[in-house]
């Protein structure tokens, strides 16, 4: 029995994809299910503890979780031989699996883009990493929050597509 | 849209609606 053959490496990359995704979506859901709804209940003088200490740390694992999820995911799709078919969401292939994994990949890629190019630049203004006026900080907080909610919304169909492509179609 | 996203429950319900749309799309393409 070959121990570290091609199939082993494929599963190894899949494992890396999944633990990175848990790191990413775990933090996304922490923000949306726990931190954001709780913030208005926290006394004003205690809120800087969340924004200055917990938020930067959580965003670090959040954005790098997103990056590694995408990286491992693309490698996995390539190793499985369906990267191009998935990008085409299975059009012309007569295969439900390619359509499902393709929709999941596109949703995941949109979410990754939102993290790195919308949420992070706006959160950097909120945290004071990027200089901004109070009005700009308020606008940045709103945009980061709404985009984070969009990602929470997209995570539901994204996970359906990923799980069903791997285990059903 | 912003009103929907400001509601966590609304966001989750919209996510499940998107799953139904997604299932229909997966089967409509083939």
Q: Are the beta carbons of A94 and B27 separated by less than 8 Å?
A: no
Question: Which residues in chain B have their CB less than 8 angstroms from residue A90's CB?
Answer: 29-30
- Taking the C-alpha atoms of residue B18 and residue B1, their distance in angstroms, rounded to an integer, is 14
Model confidence pLDDT, tens digit, residues A59-104: 999 999 999 999 999 999 999 999 999 999 988 888 999 999 999 9
pLDDT for A1 equals 60
pTM of the predicted protein model:
0.94
pLDDT for B28 equals 87
Closest residue, chain A, to B3 (C-alpha): A146
- Taking the C-alpha atoms of residue A143 and residue A103, their distance in angstroms, rounded to an integer, is 25
Q: In this structure, are residues B2 and B8 in contact, taking their beta carbons and an 8 Å threshold?
A: no
pLDDT for A3 equals 76
- Taking the C-alpha atoms of residue A105 and residue B21, their distance in angstroms, rounded to an integer, is 16
What is the share, in percent, of chain A residues with pLDDT greater than 90? 93
Question: Which residues in chain A have their CB less than 8 angstroms from residue B16's CB?
Answer: 156
Domain extent for B22: 1-30
Model confidence pLDDT, tens digit, residues A12-45: 999 999 999 999 999 999 999 999 999 999 999 9
ipTM of predicted assembly, 2 dp: 0.94
- Taking the C-alpha atoms of residue B18 and residue B11, their distance in angstroms, rounded to an integer, is 10
Tokens of A125: 């203004």
Q: Return the closest-CA partner of residue A56 out of A116, A126, A111.
A: A126
- Please tell me the total count of domains within chain B: 1
- Taking the C-alpha atoms of residue A70 and residue A64, their distance in angstroms, rounded to an integer, is 10
Tell me what the mean pLDDT of segment B5-14 comes to. 95
A154 to chain B, closest Cα gap in Å: 6
* C-alpha R_g of chain B: 12
Of A103, A156, A161, the CB nearest to B16: A156
């Amino acid at each position: 029995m070959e121990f570290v053959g091609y199939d082993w490496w494929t599963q190894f990359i899949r494992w890396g994809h999944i633990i990175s995704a848990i790191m990413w979506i775990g933090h996304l859901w922490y923000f949306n299910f726990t931190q954001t709804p709780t913030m208005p209940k926290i006394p004003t003088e205690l809120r800087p503890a969340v924004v200055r200490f917990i938020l930067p740390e959580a965003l670090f694992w959040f954005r790098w979780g997103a990056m590694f999820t995408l990286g491992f995911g693309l490698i996995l799709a390539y190793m499985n031989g369906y990267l191009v078919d998935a990008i085409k969401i299975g059009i012309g292939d007569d295969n439900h699996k390619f359509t499902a994994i393709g929709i999941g990949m596109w949703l995941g890629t949109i979410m990754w883009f939102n993290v790195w190019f919308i949420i992070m630049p706006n959160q950097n203004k909120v945290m004071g990493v990027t200089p901004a006026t109070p009005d700009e900080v308020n606008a940045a907080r709103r945009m980061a929050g709404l985009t984070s909610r969009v990602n929470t919304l997209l995570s539901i169909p994204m996970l359906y597509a990923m799980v069903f492509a791997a285990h059903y179609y | 849209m912003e009103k929907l996203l400001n509601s966590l429950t609304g966001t989750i319900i919209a996510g499940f609606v998107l799953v139904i749309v997604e299932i229909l799309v997966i089967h409509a393409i083939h």
